Amino acid sequence: MAAELIVCGEPAVGVGGEFERECARTLRDQLPDGYVVATNVHLARGCGEFYECDAIIAAPGVCDVLEVKCIRPEIAVGEDIITSSTGFYLDRVLSTVDHKAKVLASRRQRAPFPLSGRRGELRVGSQIVVPSSTRIIYKVASHKTTRPVRTLSDTVDRYRQMAAESSLFGDGSARRETRNAWMAYRDASAKAQRRTQRHLGRFAIRRQLPARQGVYEYFAVDEPPVQMEVHLREFSFDPVLPASELEAYLREVARETRILMKVRHPYVACVVGHFQTGGSWVQVSDWFDGNCLEQVWSVIAETSSWDKMGVFLRVIQALQFCHEKGVFHRNLGAEAVRVSQDLADVRLGGFECALDLGSTSTVTGSLLIRRDTRIVAPEDLQTGRSSNPRLADIFQAGVLLYRLLEDGNWPFSDTLDYVTGGAHLRQFSEPAHDVETDNLQRLAVRMMDVVPSRRPDLLRRVEQELETALAGGVR
């Protein structure tokens, strides 16, 4: 039989949480019967504060706090610091886990745990666990003997050996007593556990958002006293990659962040920072409580032309500012636009494919190919890159304008069909019954012209024509 897993709380989020789950499964499946693995245990420290223990290994004569850290491929363990070969470091980590062990030792003096001394004195220990593939270098002589940091596979071997050598381990009554105590602790502490918050870096996670293309996303809040609401995007990476490949990957995922920190505008998603964990890179943005435009077409359908064009005007103003900064979006669709519930506020994001004339880094061809074929400009079809990216953005904005006028319907099935089919757009669902609507429809058609030079240029001109159309200008 295997060890018993007692889940007391939720694991961390993202990459770190995945490794915590892996450790819990491995310890449960590979340790012998008699061990209890209690995961995500919260220990009260007083004044409403808690220590979170990733895992606690318990058995007759054994009680250790495990701190799980997903750090690879090589780490150096100093006096009270762990440094990875990728530049990530954990300060005061050994003293912190040792203090958790002292808090647990104090907590074990009370029910539901067995009274101290009943089965001999029990010293609560501590251990830091890293992936089995991690290479560990101890910088302090004493650590080479005590080994406060071990790989997961070495940790399993250690506890197997302890079970084989312990005379207490075969005591069935003591094993049941240990199991029942931790089950009772889990049940009694459930209410307090719900008050705790998971963290990523210094940010407390309020809600995990749907992941997109393998990127973890969260609604979180900064630590006191600031407590600013933020949007986190976590990009996992494989630290065992060669240094040059890892550096190239991090440059690639940070590309959008560099652009967004350059184009600060009221209607552009604002990035405020970034940080690295042992196995991921995290982008920090202002929190915008809105929905992706692609998800709210039913709401758009119930609004007036003024509200729809209010959204479009803000997108145009944001895009125009980007162009002035030498940044061209190249992936402007409804997925890239977020709107508030009342449609009064807008954020333009989705700059993964953007072209930044002031940067030396470029977007990979594979990323551009993944764009929705219904927003790719005709001139991009063969080369994948327009000679005038500003006009390509205007084409995409024209598609967005058409969809706003048509409550989400597309003007064509894809750009290739549009070009090879004689540049015929789907007719508008209803003919224009007023000057304003007629002007807006005409503007959308001109912005989607197959010939780039016939599109209105610059975006300031588009903005002016939009305002004229809304004012009921002459046809």
CATH code: domain of residue 281: 3.30.200.20
In a domain, 103, yes or no: yes
Residue located via tokens 């939009």: 466
Q: Hey, what amino acid is at 194?
A: R
In a domain, 475, yes or no: no
Give the pLDDT of residue 369: 84
Domain that holds residue 246: 200-286
Q: How far apart are CA 24 and CA 18, in angstroms?
A: 10
Q: What is the mean pLDDT of residues 161-183?
A: 89
Q: How far apart are CA 218 and CA 72, in angstroms?
A: 24
317 and 451, same domain (yes or no): yes
49 and 140, same domain (yes or no): yes
Q: Which residues are 2's β-sheet partners?
A: 32
Edge-to-edge strand ranges of the sheet holding 62-68? 4-7, 36-46, 49-59, 62-68, 125-130, 149-151
Question: Of the segments 236-245, 314-323, 379-388, which one has the largest average pLDDT value?
Answer: 314-323
283, pLDDT greater than 90? yes
Burial of 207-233, coded b for 16+ CB within 10 Å and e otherwise, reads: ebeeeeeeebbbbbbbeeeeeeebbbb
In a domain, 204, yes or no: yes
Q: Hey, what amino acid is at 320?
A: Q
Q: How far apart are CA 460 and CA 466, in angstroms?
A: 10
Among the three residues 196, 225, 243, which one is the final residue of a domain in this structure?
196
Q: How far apart are CA 96 and CA 160, in angstroms?
A: 26
In a domain, 89, yes or no: yes
Helix H or strand E segment including 333: none
173 and 206, same domain (yes or no): no
Residue located via tokens 């040792």: 98
Tens-digit pLDDT profile for residues 454-472: 999 989 999 998 888 777 6
> Average model confidence (pLDDT) for the chain?
89
Among the three residues 259, 286, 313, which one is the final residue of a domain in this structure?
286
Give the pLDDT of residue 473: 53
* CB count in 10 Å sphere of residue 86: 23
Crossing angle between the packed helical segments 389-405 and 305-324, to the nearest 10 degrees: 170
* Token duo for residue 97: 């886990």
297 and 180, same domain (yes or no): no
395: domain CATH number? 1.10.510.10
Q: Which of 338, 469, 455, 464 is nearest to 390 (CA)?
A: 455
299 and 221, same domain (yes or no): no
261 and 220, same domain (yes or no): yes
Report pTM. 0.69
Domain count, the chain: 3
Helix H or strand E segment including 205: strand 203-212
105 and 185, same domain (yes or no): yes
Residue located via tokens 């889940």: 7
Q: How far apart are CA 81 and CA 171, in angstroms?
A: 39
174 and 318, same domain (yes or no): no
444 and 464, same domain (yes or no): yes
* Token duo for residue 377: 């400009």
In a domain, 74, yes or no: yes
Q: How far apart are CA 25 and CA 29, in angstroms?
A: 6
In a domain, 318, yes or no: yes
314 and 459, same domain (yes or no): yes
The dihedrals phi and psi of 372, each to the nearest 5 degrees, come to -60, 125
60 and 89, same domain (yes or no): yes
In a domain, 116, yes or no: yes
In a domain, 388, yes or no: yes
Among the three residues 286, 308, 327, which one is the final residue of a domain in this structure?
286
The dihedrals phi and psi of 4, each to the nearest 5 degrees, come to -100, 130
Q: Is the peptide bond before 112 cis (omega within 30 degrees of 0)?
A: yes
406 and 336, same domain (yes or no): yes
Tens-digit pLDDT profile for residues 90-111: 999 999 999 999 999 998 988 8
Edge-to-edge strand ranges of the sheet holding 291-292? 291-292, 337-339, 346-348
Tens-digit pLDDT profile for residues 301-344: 999 988 999 999 999 999 999 999 999 999 999 999 999 999 99
